[in-house]
Amino acid sequence: MVSIMKYSLGDLVYQGETSGVHNWDSLSGTSFYWHPDWLHIAENMTGHTPAIPMEPPDIIPISIRS
């Protein structure tokens, strides 16, 4: 059985980017990582492709701290 975790933006604290990998920590201590190049890996593994081609905008993530 797969456990689903639910987080809101207020639960996550952006820790920055290193070598293109972005890191967020939850208030409970769980870390989440993302690199934009990883999207194609997920698409290949699942067989899903984007409905329309798109480039993500350059966004500067904001740290959210309560």
| This prediction's pTM | 0.52
User: What pLDDT does residue 48 have?
Assistant: 80
* 6/28 Cα distance (integer angstroms): 12
**To the nearest 10°, the Cα dihedral for 61, 55, 22, 60?**
-20
- pLDDT at site 57: 64
Listed in sequence order, the DSSP H helices in 1-66 are 39-46
Q: Which region, left, alpha or beta, applies to residue 19 given φ > 0 means left and ψ of -120 to 50 means alpha?
A: left
pLDDT score for 66: 46
Q: What's the pLDDT tens digit per position in 8-53? A: 888 899 999 998 899 999 998 999 998 888 878 878 888 887 777 7
Q: For position 51, what pLDDT does the model report?
A: 73
For the chain, strand residue ranges (E) read 12-18, 21-26, 31-34
